[in-house]
Amino acid sequence: MNKYLEQLLEREVIARNEPASMLVEGSKRCNGRLIVSSRRLIFICNGNEEPEVDIDLDTVNSIAHESEFVDHNILAITYLQYQVVRFTVIDCDMWEKTIEEQRMTAHIEPKFSIHSLN
């Protein structure tokens, strides 16, 4: 993971970080780590510095649990209305719950402080 990404994730709360596989073009897979922070969903293939997927949680339209052949733990995420990424994860239900919790939680950082006039 590159320094910029490490610093970015230090500022954001990491809600879940586990090994996963990204399904790419049919039956191809890329093994790596799936990370959900307070603001984004990131997937980094093993051995890579840059993420293959970096999705702002505000752009997520739907999350679905899918099956393909013998793999019954596919997490399908639709974002920006028509873009879809699929991951094989250990527990689809927990991933879906974690992503939804982060999407529905207001992550507001104060830009200024209000001082008393007295």
pLDDT tens digits, one per residue of 54-104: 999 999 999 999 988 888 899 999 999 999 999 999 999 999 999 999 999
- What is the C-alpha R_g of the chain? 16
Closest to 84 measured CA to CA, from 103, 66, 105, 101? 66
Residue 28: per-residue pLDDT: 84
List pLDDT tens digits, range 1-22. Answer: 677 777 777 788 889 999 999 9
User: Is residue 112 over pLDDT 60?
Assistant: no
Question: What type of residue sits at position 83?
Answer: Q
Instruction: Provide the sign of the torsion angle of the four alpha carbons 85, 16, 55, 34, taken in this order.
Output: negative
Alpha carbon 95 to chain centroid, angstroms: 9
Please, what CATH class does the domain formed by 3-104 belong to? mainly beta
DSSP letters for 82-118: TEEEEEE-S-HHHHHHHHHHHHHS-----SS-PPP--
User: Is residue 107 over pLDDT 70?
Assistant: no
Specify the pairing of strand 60-68 against strand 53-56. unpaired
Residue 69: per-residue pLDDT: 82
Task: Assess contact for 16 and 75: CB atoms under 8 A.
Answer: no
Return the higher-pLDDT residue of 101 and 113: 101
Domain extent listing, the chain = 3-104
Separation between Cα atoms, residue 25 and residue 9, nearest integer Å: 28
Tally of residues, the chain: 118
